[in-house]
Structure formats: C-alpha cells, structure tokens
Structure 1
Amino acid sequence: MKQKVLVLSASPRKGGNSDLLCDQFILGATEAGNQVEKIYVQDKEINFCLGCMDCQSNGGVCVQNDDMAEILDKMVRADVLVMATPIYFYNMDAQLKVVIDRVCPRYTELSNKKAYFIATSDDGRKEAMDVAVAGFRAFLSCLTNVEEAGIIYGTGVRDVGDIKGKPAMAIAYKMGMAI
C-alpha cells in the first residue's frame, strides 16, 4: 500500500551526511511506490516554543505565525515520519529539537504512524548517538501508536560526502524500500 512519507532533514548542510542518508531513504521509498516529501528544516522559519500553552486551549493553534503550522499539518497527514540530524555534542541538533518542541499544539494528532531516525556523527561509535536516540524515543513515547520502525546510524563521518560508500547508505535505501 502506498504510504505518505515525510522526511525532515535537520542538517544545516544541504548535501551533508545526514541529508545524503535522507536521499538514500527517499530513493528506496520512492522506488517502492510511496509518496515522499522532504523538508529542509534549515530553510524554514521555525521559532522556539514559547511554553505559553495557549495552543492547548485554542484548538491546537500556535500563537506564532511561522512555517511550523504547515510542517505540522504535513506531519499529521503523513503515514511515515523520518527525522534526520547530525549529532552535535552527543545529541540531536537544535534545528530538529525545535521542530519536536513545536509539535506541542497537535501532538495528540500524531498517531498511527511509523517513525525512522537518521543520525550521523564524527564519532565512530554507535554509542555516541545514544542521547539523541533516547530523545527521539522519548518524543515517540508522547505520541499514540507511533512505532519506531528503524534507526540509521552514520558513524565516523564529518566532512560533506564522508557517508558515501559507508554501510549506512545501503541500510537507508533498504529501510526506505521496506516501507
């Protein structure tokens, strides 16, 4: 069955290593017949959450007028969410964390989905991504019936393109194909 896949690439570098893994995932998902959209988080105006909680009393509408409302609509409509980030100081980058925080107005609508996490790190150890993976899992635990479908670890990559030829590229493609 054709799925709607939304890929959130939070890399500040288009064509960076986590972004290249997104492209491989997308290639696999597209070849499998799915409808895929990729959003470069860096290209969007997404303000920090204000913590005002007005969204909880006004029908899930955030008081801020930025690009997050459109992204959140797409997240709600998607069957599959893919979140990708480089690892900074053993955690997801700020761009992805801001997106996660801004899900607050409609987080109860993010249900019955599969979710994938893509992370890349200069560190060659998979354990260097444990904090970021824990953050992703904590986010999923706040949602209803959202299944962690896969994690792609791109280790030992720093410069743009270092991921090319690494096993993570094939893994990303295969996970995309398996949707």
Structure 2
Amino acid sequence: MSKKVLILSGSPRKGGNSDLLCDEFLRGAQESGNQVEKVFLRSKKVAPCNACYYCKNSGGKCAIPDDMAEILDKMQAADVIVMASPVYFYSIGAQMKAVIDRSVARWTNIPNKEFYYIMTAAEDSDTVMDCTLECFRGFAACLDGAQEKGVIYGKGVYEAGAIKGLPAMREAYEMGKQV
C-alpha cells in the first residue's frame, strides 16, 4: 500500500550530509511506490514559538504569519514523517527545533504517524547522537500513536558531501524502500 511520506530536512546546508541522506531515503521510498515530498527547512520561513498560545483559542491557527502552517498541513496529511538533523552541540539544529516547537499549534492533530530519524555528526560515535535522538523521540512521544520505525546514524562526517560512499547512504536508501 502506497504511503504519503514527508521528509523534513533540517540541514542548514543544501547538499549537506543529512540532506543527502534525506535524498537517498526519498529515492528508496519513491522506488517502492510511495508518494514522497521533501521539505528543506532552511528554505522555509519558520519563526520561533513565542508562547502566546493564540493557537489554543483559534483552532490551531498560529499568530505568526510564516510557512509553518503549510508544514503542519503536510505533517497532518502524511502517513510517515522523516526528521533529519545534523548534531549541533549534541542536539538538533535550529531549523528542526523551530518546527518541533511551532507544532504546538496542532500537535494533537498529528496522530498515528510512522517516524524515521536521520542524524549526522562529525564525530565517529553513536553516543554523540544520543541527545539528538532523544529530541526526536521526545517530540514523537507527545503524539498519539507515533511509531518509531528506523534511525540512520551518519557518523564521522563534517564537510558537505563527506557522507557519499559511506554505509549510511545505502542504509538510508534501503530504509526508504522498506516504508
């Protein structure tokens, strides 16, 4: 059965390592007959949440007029959400954090999603990604019926494109095919 897959690429670099892994996941998922869309978050305007809670009394409409409403629409419509970020000080990058925080406007309307997580780090250790993975998992834990389906660790990569030819590229492609 074909699924709607939404890939949220939190890389600050187009063609950066986590972005390239997103492309491989996308390729695999498309080849398996899924409808796939990738949103490169840096190209979207997503302001930080200002905790005004306008959304609480306005049916999930945020007071901030930016691209987040469009992203939330896509998240609600998706069956599968892929969240990707490089590791920044053992956590997720600003682009992804803003999206997670702004999801407060409609987080109760994002149930029953399958989640995949993609992370990249300059260090060659899984443990440097523990906090990043917990950030992703913390978000999903707030959503009813969320299921973690897979995690990709792109380790030992710093320069854009360094991930090419490493096992994580094949893993991302194969994981995409399994959606």
TM-score band (shorter)? over 0.9
* Equivalence for 2:151: 151
Provide the residue aligned with 1:77 in structure 2.
77
Q: Does 1:174 align with 2:164?
A: no
Aligned residues: CA RMSD: 0.6
Greater strand fraction, Structure 1 or Structure 2: 1
What one-letter code is carried by the residue in structure 1 that aligns with 2:79? D
Q: Where do 5+ consecutive residues of structure 2 fail to align?
A: none
Per-residue deviation, 1:138: 0.6
Distance in 2, matches of 1:40 and 1:125, equals 26
Identity %: 53
| 1:44-123 pair list within 5 angstroms | 44-123=44-123
> Residue type of the partner of 1:131?
C
Residue 25 of structure 2 corresponds to 25
- 1:57, distance to aligned residue in structure 2 (A): 1.5
Hey, which bits of structure 1, 4+ residues long, moved more than 6 A? none
Deviations along 1:17-52, whole A, 9 cap, x unmatched? 000000000010000000000111000110110111
Number of aligned residue pairs: give it: 179
Gaps of 5+ in 1: none
Secondary structure in 2 aligned to 1:145?
A: coil
Q: 3-state DSSP class of the match of 1:23?
A: helix
State the partner residue of 2:136: 136
Q: What is the Cα deviation at residue 161 of structure 1?
A: 1.0
Q: TM-score, normalised by structure 2?
A: 0.99
Which moved further from structure 2: 50-59 or 115-124?
A: 50-59
What's the TM-score, normalizing by structure 1? Answer: 0.99
